[in-house]
A and B are shown apart, each in its own frame.
Chain A
């Protein structure tokens, strides 16, 4: 279940190896796998359909058909298309022209995370030097006002409340907040169903009266196929300018993001990454796409690797791997290659499945430097024959590189782990990526 797209496509194309040319029928098979992966990621079935039509056209091109890595080529096409869709209209959240206060009105279905997101926005922009105030215009949910007040206290911003009807509370709130010198007013509204005519009418009139700078639709990353229906109803009936996608700190693939953007044409402004108030981050289309495809940042990694890895080198390494000859010389070489690709941590984070396995390994830049020092303290013979590294040799290496024996042991362990992983990768899912040899 939920195996990643890369594995699936490799499965399709693997059977072709040695059979010569890839045919249109093969591409069709591959597209079926893509369809399945996208549906399992909760991308709306209609969105999937139109997507596949586009991908099919491009995949019939020579680039895929003649490629030695057709699976990867197809992923790249899909990936680029998705990033285009999600990032095409990428823009930062908007502010009103001062001295007008900026007003953001937050709307959405019940429980999507609106109130929490108001608190997060307040904190984020307070830190950025603004003077945010919040208005509690949800008069419906039990203790909704209390909830926003509590968040306001935590952030240290004023929360304006009132009774009666939400339209009046909103109007009065904006007035008092403006008089109190707010330059950013965040308006929380009650959760409502897109088919609830009365409540949709109500939120529309709040919008009409308050004229927010941005009307922000808060959507839940756990949403399935229905995301299209609810988002487009809010877009049509109320009008929305941006989306905040919450709860992406879980393991949902988040295909709903694609559905919502495709259905509304409205950009995603932020993502919610936790229950706590600091769990708000700018939206990165590329990360979202990798997540939907269930493959870490694998595509950027492929690109980075392609930019940085020297083909010949890679071919030689692959050969060694096959013969299980991977040694510390190669390891060192790989460390150097990696360095060119950017911060180690981000590279590791991009490798699907690897992030988890390496948890607790704490590879940071300094650690990388220490690793290099240790390897350089080995004799060439030791580098090529790591199995000879007994206790006294390890001690010598530790001393020579200014590390402890534990550090050397850890390095050896990492080396073994890596060797094992590379072996698995070159056997399994990564086979379509001859240029990707991960030292980790």
Chain B
């Protein structure tokens, strides 16, 4: 876990250099707490993809907090911003799902190219290292070599894999994987799905069908379904629509926020936490199995501003 956190920090160093310092410079100048300052705070939040609405709301909240707490020095504002942001993420955090009946079945969904397959590899590796058994389900039967990609990850991290032919029925693959887990007593079933844009209703319907199929397998033999929406940290305001539409098709329990090792800030998760109460569970900070970190709001915000 130590090592994970180190990686996160390294991943976020570049991020924080831009995000943090611009603001820090302003605040350190000892400027008055006026409209201009709060506009600047908003701009920084916007530049982190938090969205205008969230930026305005956060800025108002920080301002109220500063007034309430009698903050008069701009250098004291940063702490309040962090606190507000954390509160934003925590207050909107949904209760953890009851995860007692094995196997733990996790469906990975999201738009194209965000990092679903890679995240499955990483999370599978995480479980495997903890001594738990994992099976991957290659329910992306659409994209070229998607199955092969997951197969390589399965080999890498020591997971089993259930596959079908290219063009096969993804719901059937998911179903089979859950059944296989039952018969072998496997603890985790991680289901990879094809990337899909949320505006495509046929593909979203297919996703609902996969969910139903998994639930059927669970209904027959027990288990628990969770669904993680994988989102790329570079995602802009469309991320909110993604979360909304995926939630309509299937019950989304959490988010995996990938590619935080770049310069993108992933601020859209604030908007998502705010509007839809979907918490971030994991963050991806690179392309290898070890580049995964469980999401902690305080650390996330802290790392951004350090």
Contact = CB atoms under 8 A, between A and B. Distances in A.
B222 interface: no
Contacts of B151: 143
Nearest to B55: A39
A17 to B, nearest CB: 27
B295 interface: no
B263 A222 contact: no
Interface string A137-180: 00011111011111100100000000000000000000000000
A256 B232 CA distance: 15
Nearest to B240: A1
Given A140-B287, A223-B234, A223-B236, A147 B149 contact: yes
A155 to B, nearest CB: 11
Interface string B107-130: 000011111000001000000000
Interface stretch (A59-67, A76-84, A224-232, A299-307): A224-232
Contact of A251 (B114, B153, B198): B198
B112 A275 contact: yes
A241 interface: no
Contact of B148 (A41, A109, A143, A252): A143
B256 interface: no
Interface stretch (A20-28, A110-118, A346-354): A110-118
A45 B237 CA distance: 13
**Could you say which of A142, A151, A224, A255 has the most chain B C-beta atoms within 10 Å of its C-beta?**
A224
Given A225-B46, A229-B263, A247-B197, A110 B238 contact: no
Given A36-B52, A225-B46, A42 B237 contact: yes
Contacts of A148: 144
A2 to B, nearest CB: 8
Given A36-B52, A250-B199, A113 B113 contact: yes
A181 B259 CA distance: 40
B261 interface: yes
A119 B46 CA distance: 36
B113 A224 contact: no
Contact of B236 (A194, A195, A229, A255): A255
Contacts of B113: 110-113, 220, 247
Interface string A86-110: 0000000000000000000000011
Interface in B121-152: 121, 142-146, 148-149, 151-152
B265 interface: yes
A109 B198 CA distance: 22
B192 interface: no
B190 to A, nearest CB: 15
Nearest to B14: A195
Interface in B174-203: 195, 197-200
A224 B198 contact: no
A310 interface: no
A419 interface: no
Contact of A45 (B47, B142, B144): B47
Contact of B238 (A142, A143, A253): A253
SS class, residues of chain A in contact with chain B: loop
Contacts of A112: 113
A111 B43 CA distance: 28
Contacts of B49: 224-226
B235 interface: yes
Contacts of A149: 145
A40 B152 CA distance: 39
Contacts of B148: 142-143, 146-147
B144 A150 contact: yes
A193 interface: yes
Which of B53, B142, B233, B234 has the most chain A CB within a 10 Å cutoff? B234
A250 B197 contact: yes
Would you list the 3 A-B pairs with minimal beta carbon distance, nearest first? A224-B236, A111-B113, A42-B236
Interface of A: 1-2, 36, 39-42, 44-45, 109-113, 115-116, 119, 140-144, 146-151, 154, 193-195, 220, 222-227, 229-230, 247, 249-253, 255-256, 275
13 contacts: A1-B240, A142-B153, A144-B145, A146-B149, A151-B144, A222-B236, A222-B238, A225-B264, A226-B49, A226-B233, A227-B234, A230-B262, A250-B200
Given A42-B238, A154-B144, 5 more contacts: A109-B259, A110-B259, A220-B232, A224-B235, A225-B236
